[in-house]
């Protein structure tokens, strides 16, 4: 799947989940909390592809996410790809094939998802709002890059970086202080998990069972069979899937915000 589809799926899952919590469990979130959670989950849904590096020196290539902060994120992607490849070779069994690139390995596993979610929560607990502003800056940047792909491409990474910094600062100034922010860790973790599911419906698949060895293979790629798998960049992805995800997000957002707006104008439904 391409970057924008991943980001949209993260936003759609977070909004739908929030709507379900609001509707069935009476768990309400402020509009700011909802916006932050949605942006962080959309950003988190791009995070695993930070293992797809490009040409750092020529500022080219790499996944959508790797180009968010220009050469800086391209460099991070390069490091992430090499670490992933290292972990692949350190844990591979006799029937795992040789590889020369770490894409779709470590960052596309459940342990990685859990680690990233836990790490984010731990950072927020230890450093409070300062950790929050850093994480938000990074995640909002990824989300902008994913959700507003064409704008981000035209605007360039400097503008994307400045807009993310402004959005992170605004949130920092308006978010209640002196408490943990477990929802941010959850949103990052859910985003990563949604990314893995998104890659699972393509034919290359993901090593979702790692580190469970199966038939002397540690990195079994699980994906859909060729005939029904989603082709990257196909009409099914760009038109059908993205439209469905957008409609779902809008419906959930309306469902979440409409009752309080109606209440404000004293309209009974």
By CB under 5 A, tell whether 51 contacts Zn ion: no
**Whole-number minimum distance, CB 220 to Zn ion, in Å?**
16
By CB under 5 A, tell whether 81 contacts Zn ion: no
Of 189, 185, 238, 195, whose CA–CA distance to 103 is shortest?
A: 195
The dihedral through the CA atoms of 158, 160, 166, 169 has a sign that is: negative
Q: Which is nearer to Zn ion, 18 or 105 (CB)?
A: 105
The token pair at 94 is 């006799």
**Whole-number minimum distance, CB 49 to Zn ion, in Å?**
4
Q: Which is nearer to Zn ion, 1 or 136 (CB)?
A: 1
**Whole-number minimum distance, CB 235 to Zn ion, in Å?**
20
Q: Are 101 and 173 contacting, i.e. CB atoms less than 8 angstroms apart?
A: no
The token pair at 163 is 């807009």
Q: In whole angstroms, what is the distance from residue 114 CA to residue 127 CA?
A: 20
Q: Which is nearer to Zn ion, 124 or 237 (CB)?
A: 237
Question: Of residues 192-251, which lie at the interface with Zn ion (CB under 5 A)?
Answer: 199
Q: Which is nearer to Zn ion, 96 or 199 (CB)?
A: 199
**Whole-number minimum distance, CB 184 to Zn ion, in Å?**
22
Backbone torsion region of residue 94, taken as left when φ is above 0, otherwise alpha when ψ lies between -120 and 50, otherwise beta:
alpha
By CB under 5 A, tell whether 49 contacts Zn ion: yes
**Is residue 149 helix, strand or coil?**
helix
> Footprint of Zn ion on this chain (CB under 5 A)?
49, 199
């Amino acid at each position: 799947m391409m970057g924008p589809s991943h980001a949209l799926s993260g936003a759609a899952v977070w909004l739908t989940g929030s709507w379900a919590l609001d509707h069935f469990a009476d768990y309400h979130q402020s509009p700011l909390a909802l916006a932050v959670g949605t942006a962080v989950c959309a950003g988190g849904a791009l995070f695993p592809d930070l293992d797809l590096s490009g040409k750092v020196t020529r500022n080219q290539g790499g996944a959508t996410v790797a180009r968010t902060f220009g050469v800086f994120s391209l460099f991070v992607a390069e490091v992430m790809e090499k670490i992933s490849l290292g972990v692949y070779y350190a844990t591979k069994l006799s029937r795992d094939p040789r590889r020369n690139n770490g894409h779709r390995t470590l960052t596309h596993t459940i342990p990685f998802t859990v680690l990233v979610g836990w790490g984010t929560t731990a950072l927020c607990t230890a450093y409070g709002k300062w950790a929050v502003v850093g994480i938000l800056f990074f995640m909002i940047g990824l989300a902008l890059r994913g959700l507003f792909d064409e704008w981000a491409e035209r605007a360039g990474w400097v503008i994307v970086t400045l807009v993310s910094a402004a959005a992170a600062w605004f949130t920092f100034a308006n978010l209640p202080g002196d408490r943990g922010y477990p929802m941010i860790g959850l949103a990052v973790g859910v985003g990563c998990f949604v990314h893995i599911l998104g890659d699972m419906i393509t034919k290359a698949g993901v090593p979702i069972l790692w580190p469970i060895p199966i038939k002397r293979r540690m990195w079994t790629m699980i994906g859909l069979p060729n005939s029904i798998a989603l082709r990257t960049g196909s009409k099914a992805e760009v038109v059908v899937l993205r439209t469905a995800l957008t409609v779902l997000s809008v419906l959930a957002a309306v469902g979440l915000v409409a009752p309080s707006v109606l209440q404000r104008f004293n309209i009974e439904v």
